[in-house]
Amino acid sequence: MEITPSILTADFSRLGETLDEAIASGINWIHMDVMDGNWVVNRTITFGPALIRSVRNRLGPKVFIDCHLMTTNAEETWDQYVDAGVNMVIAHIEAVNDFPSLTEKLRDAGVQVGCVLNPGTPVDLVIPLLPVLDLVLVMSVIPGKGGQSFMPEVEEKVKTFRAAIDAQITDGGRGTKLMIDGGIKDHNAALVAGWGIDIAVVGSGLINDTASIRENLASINNSLGNNN
């Protein structure tokens, strides 16, 4: 299971140094959480394309960057994130009116496509889209709601996607990746890996004042049985 950091817990005055530390620790995928102050329940505003462009310029072309759009207008603003240099746009099924149309536009722009769903959203809304998706992100917290812990009840949702993706791959279809985001730390990383997760987004479990990114990543890898 690959680990990608969410930068929301970083000190933004030292963001460049934090990113450099992450890459030096062996991380090659950066997850950018974009909140517009409207769509998430606590009305949080995080950052937008300008900061993402700075991250791309800092890290160069080889690091994979996705943007998770927790916004009301992904269908109107996706191109700003593509122009900023992301490799993948992940949009919420609950916030997009015509996901197939958005997918086609993103493909034409040369970037990968991800679809994310909240803990309470049925998998049936996303399963039909799997053949055209590069990634499915299952939220294990409610976006923008503070003080939450990891929600283990998303297990069946994850396993349903895992089975559907495996069947798709067996039939010669797209190798859609399965990602989880919300409350992932060293104590539950092995649990979600066992469910079949390919990529876990880790925020405070990776970027905190307690230990370095390298130390926190090593702790997660140890829990997974990895020695790197």
pLDDT tens digits for range 93-124: 999 999 999 999 999 999 999 999 999 999 99
Helix (H) or strand (E) holding 193: helix 189-195
* CA angle 129–176–106, rounded 5-degree value: 60
> Domain count of the chain?
1
Burial-class residue 178 by CB neighbours within 10 Å (0-12, 13-18, 19+).
Answer: buried
CA dist., res. 163 & res. 197, Å (int): 11
H helices of 27-72, in order, are 49-59
Above pLDDT 90, what percent of the chain?
92
Active-site positions read 33, 181
Task: Give residue-wise pLDDT tens across range 132-172.
Answer: 999 999 999 999 765 578 999 999 999 999 999 999 999 99
Task: Give residue-wise pLDDT tens across range 169-220.
Answer: 999 999 999 999 999 999 999 999 999 999 999 999 999 999 999 999 999 9
Residues 6+ apart with CB under 8 A from 116: 68, 90, 91, 92, 93, 136, 137, 138, 139, 181
CA dist., res. 192 & res. 198, Å (int): 9
Task: Supply the pLDDT for residue 134.
Answer: 98
CA dist., res. 117 & res. 126, Å (int): 8
Task: Supply the pLDDT for residue 147.
Answer: 59
Enclosing domain of residue 107: 2-224
pLDDT band at 29 (very low <50, low <70, confident <90, very high): very high
CATH of the domain at 10: 3.20.20.70
pLDDT band at 226 (very low <50, low <70, confident <90, very high): confident
Task: Supply the pLDDT for residue 227.
Answer: 54
pLDDT band at 41 (very low <50, low <70, confident <90, very high): confident
Global pTM value? 0.95
Q: Are 80 and 104 in contact (CB under 8 A)?
A: no
Task: Supply the pLDDT for residue 144.
Answer: 79
